[in-house]
Structure 1
């Protein structure tokens, strides 16, 4: 797949360690992709060109423009995020490929409830999926989002609005390092994401699909726990970071 020019058009701080970068592909008027896909950037780091390849989930559904929002966490030792956070600015030119990836919802009307389990910027593809599909589907969606503290909760107001306006959307936030006493109308829990789905989906159901996204340690543990609950592997779909 050929590399194409890309330009950073906007940067917004989302949390103390996370920023959104809006990347424009100027070779077309409209950027089409499926919610859940990612963009691969070629960053000017490392000794070889491949050293600079970094893939980031697209954090918003296609909106008819030629831009995509990437939600990126700054890694303390990461050369890629070091460049993006300390060297890149609005107007910085990069190279990218066409959107790719198969971590997407099935086409057509959904037949199974969707449980989305994530931590940190792993919420990015789920935000895009919910923007694209929540209003159009009759099945239930449950977003289980793990963070350390409330200032780390990404897109908090947007998800809270979805929760209030859509009866088929449940939103659970798990805070591992802070008491969960924020916004009484939201389902806040103290601790990690794992006890939530183990309790809420303890009785094995055929009509549910679990989507897991985040760092490999969390995703691997969640998959292992779901398998131990008795869910078959075909009902568990995963996207690993790192």
Structure 2
């Protein structure tokens, strides 16, 4: 079972009005290895019981040979953990952390099915890490469908648009629920929710598709049910819930 070790915040960056990236250094490693899609569990001092302060955050970038991980965190109005991270920490703050874990990841062997990533908010974090590592290596198609409320809530926008321009096998779709936004170079934009996007692109069952879902539980549950209604089996849909 993974042990707790001290980690240190090395950098903090505002990604959107409600989201920040926190770079954590795990100094007990010289070089940290993990699989894109995995998460890090932190022990935050927000309750009397240690276990009630445990929070898990997906790693938002592929391994780069360092001993640091980037965590993408949304500040929730009633979230004790995120509020503590946003209001009580700074560069140099130490936090107890476990090494990366989790099974939400791509197969280690060359991919044989086209991949569709469906996410909302910070649920895009594991998919960014997967794309950074696998997009340059794979021949299958990748489709990232990202949902948020407004244009200022789009995370890693420039990076994904650059991927769409560089790689012919990568398609980038945005679903903006509360704002009209025109499609542009490297991105297809829809007013509404993520469900309308995959229903439009994949209305007819295909055995050569693999769906990955990540984000708030309501979106993930609805997408799982809709994909089942469209004929996609449980073995074609992998999911990670937030909240």
Displacement after TM superposition at 1:108 (Å): 1.2
CA distance in 2, matches of 1:51, 1:224: 31
CA deviation vs aligned residue, 1:181-234 (integer Å, no higher than 9, x gap): 153542111110001111111110000000000011000000000000111111
* 1:53-132 correspondence to structure 2 within 5 Å: 53-132=54-133
**Are the counterparts in 2 of residues 174 and 180 from structure 1 also a CA contact under 8 Å?**
no
Q: TM-score under structure 1 normalisation?
A: 0.99
Q: State the partner residue of 1:18.
A: 19
**Are the counterparts in 1 of residues 144 and 171 from structure 2 also a CA contact under 8 Å?**
yes
Q: State the partner residue of 2:143.
A: 142
- Describe the SS at the equivalent of 2:135: helix
Q: State the partner residue of 2:153.
A: 152
Residue 206 (1) aligns with residue 207 (2) = yes
RMSD value, Cα: 0.8
CA deviation vs aligned residue, 1:4-45 (integer Å, no higher than 9, x gap): 110000000000000000000011111110000000000111
Displacement after TM superposition at 1:180 (Å): 2.0
- Describe the SS at the equivalent of 2:180: coil
CA distance in 2, matches of 1:187, 1:74: 27
CA distance in 2, matches of 1:142, 1:75: 28
Which runs of no fewer than 5 residues in structure 1 stay unpaired? none
**Are the counterparts in 1 of residues 175 and 192 from structure 2 also a CA contact under 8 Å?**
yes
Residue 233 (1) aligns with residue 228 (2) = no
Q: How many residues align?
A: 242
**Are the counterparts in 1 of residues 162 and 186 from structure 2 also a CA contact under 8 Å?**
no
CA deviation vs aligned residue, 1:105-144 (integer Å, no higher than 9, x gap): 0011100000000000000000000000001000000000
CA distance in 2, matches of 1:210, 1:233: 10
Displacement after TM superposition at 1:238 (Å): 0.4
Q: TM-score under structure 2 normalisation?
A: 0.98
CA deviation vs aligned residue, 1:133-177 (integer Å, no higher than 9, x gap): 001000000000001011100000000000000000000011100
- Describe the SS at the equivalent of 1:32: coil
Instruction: Give the stretch that moved more between structures: 194-203 or 54-63.
Output: 194-203
